[in-house]
A and B are shown apart, each in its own frame.
Chain A
């Protein structure tokens, strides 16, 4: 498993497509959990988390399930935890869930790249 993370509109998807050529990408907001477990690469993984939570599904064990069922997936996700604590209850829960899920996934990833201004910095290469 590898991850590419960073703020919105930083060129993560472009860099991911260049870094991992030949991968079949799906978008987080479009896929079911079943499809996620078989995906080669996921763009906008944070949007999968949002969709699941909006539809009332728990994401508590999502990281463990992905590591178990799809250990070779490439995940591209926004970082969403760098602002003021949101006033809205759902927004707060979503923001924290992205953090917790991605922290566990990063622990299970062999490589994590952080993208700022289109530039990728490898922050983990195990």
Chain B
């Protein structure tokens, strides 16, 4: 099963996605971390997420670029967070995929989907605001938008988390609606 979790900034996407992982049962849990801690603010953010995950039995794998090279134990539950960081790394970093970002990332996700039992991907809505961008920022929005659409096609369930409330845009048959309460 594949679940795509999206939403705005600070909306409770991570907490929801972690609940989805726990609801997948007592399988090996792998967290693929994509945020490179380059300054105080991102270090603080990484720390906050680590604290949220503590005690939930995740093995953490760092992947800043090259998702297709990431291997996970067969049949495990994978939480990848966050697609917006991974895409930014691939586009903007020297060792990233540059113009090939979209296809490279999709190849990586397909690989993960084959290896994992359940795959939960967190992405981000960065597409609705008054400010308009040009050049590299607009390109970044375009690439992430394309990635999100392709992931949504692959996923069984697509859920937008609005201030902690799940709003379903696509719902797979075997998806448990209230994952937490079934624990």
Residues of the A chain whose Cβ atoms lie less than 8 Å from the Cβ of B131: 83-84
Interface residues of A in 51-85 (CB under 8 A from B): 79-85
Binding site for B on A (CB under 8 A): 3, 5, 7-8, 79-85, 92, 95-100, 102-107, 112, 114, 123-124
- At the interface with chain A, which of B9-17, B103-111, B150-158? B9-17
Asked if A102 and B163 sit within 8 Å, CB to CB, the answer is yes
Interface size in chain B (residues, C-beta < 8 A): 23
A104 to B129 alpha-carbon distance, docked (Å)? 23
Residue of A nearest to B140 (CB): A84
11 contacts between A and B (CB under 8 A): A8-B130, A81-B7, A81-B10, A82-B126, A83-B130, A84-B129, A84-B137, A102-B163, A103-B10, A112-B163, A114-B162
Residues of the A chain whose Cβ atoms lie less than 8 Å from the Cβ of B41: 92
Pick the residue among A5, A85, A92, A98 that contacts B162 (CB under 8 A): A5
Q: How far is the CB of A56 from chain B (nearest CB, A)?
A: 19
Interface residues of B in 1-50 (CB under 8 A from A): 7-12, 41
Asked if B8 and A84 sit within 8 Å, CB to CB, the answer is no
Residues of the A chain whose Cβ atoms lie less than 8 Å from the Cβ of B140: 84
Asked if B162 and A123 sit within 8 Å, CB to CB, the answer is yes
Binding site for A on B (CB under 8 A): 7-12, 41, 125-131, 133, 137, 140-141, 162-165, 167
Residues of the A chain whose Cβ atoms lie less than 8 Å from the Cβ of B164: 103-104, 106-107
Q: How far is the CB of B146 from chain A (nearest CB, A)?
A: 16
Residue of A nearest to B141 (CB): A84
Residue of A nearest to B160 (CB): A123
Asked if B8 and A81 sit within 8 Å, CB to CB, the answer is yes
Residue of A nearest to B144 (CB): A84
Asked if B10 and A7 sit within 8 Å, CB to CB, the answer is no
Asked if A96 and B126 sit within 8 Å, CB to CB, the answer is no
Residues of the A chain whose Cβ atoms lie less than 8 Å from the Cβ of B167: 114, 123
A5 to B165 alpha-carbon distance, docked (Å)? 12
Q: How far is the CB of A114 from chain B (nearest CB, A)?
A: 6
Residues of the A chain whose Cβ atoms lie less than 8 Å from the Cβ of B10: 81, 95-100, 103
Q: How far is the CB of A121 from chain B (nearest CB, A)?
A: 8
A99 to B10 alpha-carbon distance, docked (Å)? 4
